[in-house]
Amino acid sequence: MATIVRKELADYFTSVRVFILMLIVFLTSGGALYAVQQNIRGQVSESGFVFLRLFTTSGEAMPSLVTFIVLLIPIIGIALGFDAINSERQSGTLSRVLAQPIFRDNVINGKFLAGIITLSVMVVATMMVVAGYGLVMIGVPPTAEEIVRLSIYLVFTIIYGAFWLGLAVLFSVLFRKIATSLLTPVAIWLFFGIFILIAAPAIANALVPVANATSPEVIIRNAELQQMIMRFSPNTLFSEATTVLLLPQVRSLGIVTMSQVQFMIPNPISLGQSILLIWPQLTSLIGLSAICFAASYILFMRQEIRAT
Partner 1 sequence: MGREIVVETCNLTKRYDSATVVDSLNLSIEEGEVFGLLGPNGAGKTTTILMLLGLTEPVAGTVRVCGLDPTRQPLEVKRQVGYMPEKVGFYESLTARENLDFIAELNAIGYVEARRRIDEVLEGVGIAQVADVKVGNFSRGMKQRLGIADVLVKKPRLAIFDEPTAGLDPEGINQILDLMAKLPGMGTTVVMSSHRLYEVQRVCSSIGILSKGKLVVQGSIDELGRQALAGGRYRIEIETRRPTPALVDTIKAIPDVKEVKTSGDLLMVITDSDLRAEISKVVVQSDFLLIQMKIQEFNLDDIYMKYFHEG
- Residue number with CB closer to partner 1 (136 or 306): 306
Instruction: Decide whether 8 or 240 has the Cβ nearer to partner 1.
Output: 8
DSSP result, the chain: -HHHHHHHHHHHHH-HHHHHHHHHHHHHHHHHHHHHHHHHHHHHTTSS-HHHHHHH---SSS--HHHHHHHHHHHHHHHHHTTTTHHHHHHTHHHHHHTSSS-HHHHHHHHHHHHHHHHHHHHHHHHHHHHHHHHHHH--PPPHHHHHHHHHHHHHHHHHHHHHHHHHHHHHHH-S-HHHHHHHHHHHHHIIIIIHHHHHHHHHHHHS--TT---HHHHHHHHHHHHHHHTTSHHHHHHHHHHHHH-TT---SS---HHHHHH---SPPPHHHHHHHHHHHHHHHHHHHHHHHHHHHHHHHH------
Contacts with 198 (C-beta within 8 Å, 6 or more apart), sequence order:
none
- Residue 6: CB minimum distance to partner 1, A: 9
Name the site residues for partner 1 (rule: CB under 8 A). 3-4, 7, 11, 14, 90-93, 95-103, 304-308
CB 235 within 8 A of CB 191: no
Shortest reach from residue 13's CB to partner 1, in Å: 12
Whose Cβ is closer to partner 1: residue 211's or residue 306's? 306
Minimum distance, C-beta of residue 300 to partner 1, in the bound complex (Å): 13
Rounded least distance, CB 7 to partner 1, Å: 6
Q: Which of 130, 122, 128 is nearest to 12 (CA)?
A: 122
Q: Which is nearer to partner 1, 41 or 176 (CB)?
A: 176
Which residue, 12 or 160, is less far from partner 1 as judged by CB?
A: 12
- Least Å distance between CB 104 and partner 1? 8
Give least dist CB 93 to partner 1, A: 5
Comparing CB distances to partner 1, the nearer of 262 and 308 is 308
Task: For partner 1, give the closer residue by CB, 41 or 96.
Answer: 96
Q: What is the closest distance, in whole angstroms, from the C-beta atom of residue 305 to partner 1 in the complex?
A: 5
